[in-house]
Structures are given as structure tokens and as C-alpha cells.
A and B are shown apart, each in its own frame.
Chain A
């Protein structure tokens, strides 16, 4: 089957040590960083081909980790991005302020960039509720105001990471022409709640 290619650039934004790299790791390699692995020099830019039905979507994920102090550079990275995953640490309120700054930048400069607001380190909150500094509903309200999807994730447990990527893939596909395959496929209609797991399975475990 000759698959149609869709290239999508994704940029990870967020304050230092909010967990951007761990999220990419979980996203791409289905694991949380614990052991040694090879070929790390390329890790800052991950090209991940994912097959969905008759399409191959190549996700070019740009992780800004390690270069956060280069403040003025962010536009170099998010220019032309299809999506931005703006991360904040659920246990660090200053990281949420910084996330708001990037959202503002993106809205001003990249109107076609879809924003995903992502609260990280949910496992810490589950272990100790008093650590939470960003209220779920406050973040949700902000996300609705800016028209973004909002998730609270844990790269350690994998919570919601699959949902995040599923939403993102759906968006990437639906944005391109002739691709209402979800709508027109046998069951007709997108029932995310039911289809999520099988969809995720098919797109991420088949290559």
C-alpha cells in the first residue's frame, strides 16, 4: 500500500524542567526515561512516522528542552508548526504563567497553530494532593477561552498521553483535504470515547 504522506511539525514549549522531554519520550517510545538508550543526539528532533488508515503522518517533534534560556528563539522553533504542546508543571504555578506567555505569542504570530495545553506530572498530584498549585478548572477555563485542548498528563504512568496524541492525530488528519475517513468509515461518525483505544493501537503499534 502506498501511503500518503502528511508531515506535521509539532513544537514543545514550556518552562525549564516541566517535563517536555519525558512527554516526548512517552509519546514516541512509550516509556518514561529510566535506562540508557542510544542515539540521543537526535533526540531533540524526533521524526515519528505513524500510519493511520491510508496515510502516513510524519510527526516532526521539536523539543525546546535544554535551550529555554534562549528566550528570543522560540519563534524560530514554532514558525510553521501545525501544533504546539504548551506544557506546565501542575506543581509549579510560575510555569503556568510562562505557558500563558507562549499561548499569547502563538495566538499573535501563528494563527494556524493548534494549541494543546498540557499539565504535567499528574502522578505527583495523585501521590500527594497538596502539591497541586494549578486548579484543574482554572486551567480548563483558560483553555476554553483560547480554544485549546487541555490535558493533565503523567509521563511516568502514561496517563492521558495516548489521549493527547489521539486528539492531535485526529486534528492533523481532519485539517488536510479528502480525509474524512473517520466520518466515512464503516461505523460512520467519530466516536472518540469508544474508538480511542483501538485507534491509538492501530496508529502507534503497527510500524
Chain B
């Protein structure tokens, strides 16, 4: 044994001996076939995305050519007058999404914490499927509910907000006079309805990452004399932070793209306004839904161009969310 080792230690190794040798690991035909199938499926998703973007770009070119960069700065939407842009609909849509997040995030996170940490174990599967069921309700149903049930009942609250807090917080001010219709069809009401639609996805994803918090660390916290809330604060929330941020961003992406409920509730106004309780608002997707029946080709092209912008923003938000989730401890599969 030592005799075999000795020479290699004393002899100067030839320079080429230190190079890594090629290692071949030929896959079996079945493996190769399966891998090929998966690769094709994966690539087709990318291809589809690319084709959608390409289609929108192609159809939107006419509108871009017609108005140029003013497409990004123009608030009005008058295709016949060659004066249209997304400077009002895009921020308005973001505003709806932000309002939706303001309502959905606290509700979704506390619901997720309740389900994963506090609810009786026997009740958990029921609660999980209830939340998932929420996601299965068609958005037109939420829209109708918002229009016919929620709106008449929430107007009083909106008015209260405007009257009591409007002075202190300008964005809650309503400048259109104190009549009932001043408060309807507002960005706020649309955001409220949209929030219901993004609660399930945020709850679902957050609950998932919360429940993955390592049992060892949970026990470690308990063994130090921690209360349940202390354990949640020290172990579960830090562990789930990345996943929660990702979930919120995915929710934001969905809220941006939400169409029908917004289209039903909002009364379209092409003027940028930060007064969220006032009648009127807009979003790109509801604009597309409401104006799609317009036949003239420039109008359609303008809608496609707006759709392209929305597509790009949503894609960006979702990619960023995915990046954050995968970088976080809770999202990385290698963590233990």
C-alpha cells in the first residue's frame, strides 16, 4: 500500500496529469426521451410568451407610429383625433392594484398565519380548500357582487372617509360635491373588489412558505420559553419573508391584469386623478375590455399597444417576484 503511494508523492507529476479528465454519463433512451419531452414543454412556454409579445408589438405598431412617444405621456384616449396615450390609464390601474394590495395583504397574511399556525389541525384542510375555492370563483361574479351588493353598501363608508379624513389626506378628498353618485364607481371600490380576487393567491403562497418553517427551529424557540406568537415572530415570519414578498408581487401582477370586475365597476375617465374615492378611474385591461368592440383599425392597434405595455409590466413584476422567491430561504429547495 505504501509502496504504491510513495512513488506518486516523490515523482514530479507530468503537467497533463493534473487536468480534469472528461467524465461521460450517457443517459438511457428513456431518460433522453423524457428529458426531451420536458424540454419541449418548457421551451413552448417561452415560445408562447414570445409570440404573444410579438403579436402585440405587431398589432400595436400602427398606433405607435401614429402618435410616437406621446403614447406614454398622453392622458386622453381619442383615437379619431390621433390623441391617445396611457398616461392616465396606466397609473390609474396601478392605483387600483395598490388599493387592492392595501386591503388584501393584511387579510391574506393573517389568514395564512392563522391557517398554518393557529387553526386546529383538523380544520386546516377545510380552510385551505375554502381559500382555494375563492380563487375558483369567476371574476365576473366578483364584479357583479361588487356592483350590485358592495357598492351601495360601501358608499356610506367612502363618504365618511372623504368627509372626515379628506381634509388631512388629500387623496381621500372628493371634489365633486356631496351627492351619492360622487362616491360610486371609484378607484377605491374597484380596488376593494379586486382585493378579494388576489387574497387567495397571496394566502395560498404565504401559507405554503409559513408551513415550511423548519420544525427544529420552531422547537428551539419553544424550548426557550417562547409563546406561540414569539415563535412565529422569530422563526416563521423571518423564514417566510422572501416567499411573502414574492406572493405579494404576484398578487400585484394579478391585480394589474384584472379586467372584468374593474370594467363593470369603474366609470372610465381619461384624466389622471389621485383622488381614489371620486367617481371615475380606469385601468388598461378594463379599457381594452370596454373599447374592444370599436371597429376602426387604429383604435384596435392602440388597445394592442396598451396591452403590450401592461404585458411588459406584469411580466417584469412576476419575474422579479419569482427571483425574490427563489433567492429567499423559504423558496430555495436546498435549504433545510
Partners in one complex: no
Mark B residues whose CB is within 8 Å of A.
Answer: none
